[in-house]
Amino acid sequence: MDSGRIVLRAAAVLDPEAGALAEGQAVVTEGGRVVEVAATAAVRAGDATVVDVGGRAVLPGLIDAHVHVNAVTADLGALETWSPAYVTARAAGVLRGMLDRGFTTVRDVAGADFGIAAAVAEGLFPGPRVIFGGKALSQTGGHGDSRGPGRTALDQHPCCPTLTVVADGEAEVRRAAREQLRRGAHHVKVMLSGGIASPTDRIDSTQYSMEELRAVVEEARAANRYVTGHAYTAAAVNRGLEAGVGCIEHGNLMDASSVALFRSTGAFYVPTLATYAALAAEGLDHGFPADQHAKVYEVLDAGKAALELAHRAELPIVYGTDLLGGMHRHQLTELTLRAEVQPAADILRSATTVAARLLGLEGRVGVVAPGAFADLLVVDGNPLERLELLTDPARNLRLVMAAGRVHRNDLG
């Protein structure tokens, strides 16, 4: 089926914000949008293609707000030596896998650019809508500087398939931020602390001066965009929030002082539990360097405690995974890990309506409503009662529609 007029009839439509299903509904899509949601008996099919959902749940396509579609290997230092064409070809497989799992929108927070977003939008290969930030900004020796201590060369060409650009000093970071925005970035990402997948920094380090951070925030705001920040410790999280960063990624080691700043600034929080579980279990098998693998255990067990802290404080928590290489297939593991802390309704909101607010796409993604993109899933059962239905898409996910195009239909 293409993006012509399609009617999904006899559906139980999920309202993520309300945490409720409305049975006996029909969803009408046309031109890539939802145009009507009403009782099945009230909808005239006309010459539309009609799909009988058989009472199954229809929910909005899922949103993963922390991906790296170009991270087609877990050895990020080696990635920069690969051909951009080869990386894109492998990224096409990563994107198709995401759509197969029910993700119809993703936010790429380092690596993807306007080209790969356009390729998906034009249907050159199947995948979720890509909301991209271009290359993340890293200081010299920071999380994003892939050089080991004995290496000096640094390829900063925009077509080099690295995930980051290294910039130091207020003038350089302004220029780097402006360059990402010039190339169409929907946000700018900065490294606020050390990380796991970097060779020379400590996880507990803080990165960039406050003057540099404020300069990046100023440039993003001038373009009506926002800054998101990679951070683990409370010190790093707090510096970012004080500088005006609008979203924090990871935050495994934050504490109550960070919660107070989240509340006062209204910033979003994107935990990424799935990547630590995957890296610990099989990172070495996928090329993740051994010296970096040892750092996983500094944050692995703290992630759930940070999520619980944020959940109790009712912060705006968004779904994210941060997987690398062959570990992208664990994208739905985040649901299972979060279910140890959060109820299903909150987790579903994090992957739909809350994520939509972060992306500035409220009302257009994450909902089944007139005017929204026709990003729809049909599931065998009620995910509010059985969240695990979503973790086995081969068995339970019966239809995937992205922007009105049916990617998969097992309903007949």
Q: What is the DSSP string of 99-166?
A: HHTTEEEEEE-SS--HHHHHHHHTTSS---EEEE--SEEE-TTSTT----TT-------TTS--SEEE
Helix (H) or strand (E) holding 355: helix 353-359
Which amino acid is present at 359?
L
pLDDT at 45 over 70: yes
| Long-range pairs, 77-84, Cβ under 8 A, ≥24 | 77/146, 77/147, 77/148, 77/199, 77/289, 78/287, 79/161, 79/162, 79/163, 80/146, 80/155, 80/160, 80/161, 80/162, 82/161, 83/161, 84/159, 84/160, 84/161
For residue 105, list its beta bridge partners. 63, 129
pLDDT at 139 over 60: yes
Q: Whole-model pTM? A: 0.97
Does residue 223 contact residue 181 with C-beta atoms inside 8 Å? yes
Q: What is the pLDDT of residues 320-340, one digit of tens each?
A: 999 999 999 999 999 999 999
End-to-end CA distance of the chain: 12
Tokens of 249: 């990624």
Residues of the chain above pLDDT 90, percent:
92
Torsion angles phi and psi, residue 387, rounded to 5? -60, -30
Residue entry with tokens 């509340």: 263
Mean pLDDT, the chain, rounded, equals: 96
Q: What is the pLDDT of residues 241-299, one digit of tens each?
A: 999 999 999 999 999 999 999 999 999 999 999 999 999 999 999 999 999 999 999 99
Distance CA 247, CA 354 (A): 12
Helix (H) or strand (E) holding 51: strand 49-52
Does residue 318 contact residue 268 with C-beta atoms inside 8 Å? yes
Bridge-based pairing of strands 187-191 and 6-15 is: unpaired
Q: What is the pLDDT of residues 209-238, one digit of tens each?
A: 999 999 999 999 999 999 999 999 999 999
Q: What is the pLDDT of residues 191-216, one digit of tens each?
A: 999 999 999 999 999 999 999 999 99
| Amino acid 191: pLDDT | 98
